[in-house]
Amino acid sequence: MERLFARFAAMYGDAAMKRMWGQQPPEAVKAIWADSLSRFDVQSIMAGLRNLEDAGNTFPPTLPEFIGACRRKPETVPAEHRPLLPPKALTADERAAGKVIADRIAREFSRRPQRDPAEWAYRVIKRYEGGDKVVAHASYKIAQDALRELGRAA
């Protein structure tokens, strides 16, 4: 218990420790804490200390708060921050299946007619100049700017 309370003093300062337990005899407080924490192993108590540090509290915990901190599992690293495992080696059958799929995708895309990336701009300009009141003037200007960027006439 001496080490635990020394850690609390280092974490929260002597003033906070005195405000928390100033009226109580230190031996009585430590005896009650020792009795209540005897059910936890050292790793759980250390995890409780880490949980308190991570919580950022500026005042020492009550006994029930510290017991709760000891019961909580320390935060694990989220999956998106864990290092990736190296990919497993593919079998010959898996590589062949992947090639079949890649070839099918390539054939599909090669058959599709290529669309003009400026087609939308020409449609907007045609509708605006045709008197379509749904097409806003800002859309018309954006379409003209897009064509100018592509080096095309509006």
E-state strands within the chain: none
Whether 80 is in a domain gets the answer: no
Residue 88 inside a domain? The answer is: no
Q: How many domains does the chain have?
A: 2
Instruction: Say which residue the tokens 């390539």 belong to.
Output: 106
User: What integer best gives the mean pLDDT of the chain?
Assistant: 88
pLDDT (tens digit per residue) in 110-138: 877 778 889 999 999 999 999 998 889 99
Q: Is residue 79's pLDDT more than 70? A: no
pLDDT at 95 over 90: yes
Is 34 within a domain? yes
Map tokens 């218990």 to a residue.
Answer: 1
Question: In which domain, by residue range, is 36 found?
Answer: 2-71
Question: pTM above 0.75?
Answer: no
- Please indicate, yes or no, if residue 47 is contained in any of the structural domains: yes
Distance of alpha carbon 76 from alpha carbon 104, whole angstroms = 42
In a domain, 136, yes or no: yes
Residue 32 corresponds to which amino acid? I
In a domain, 76, yes or no: no
24 occurs within a structural domain: yes
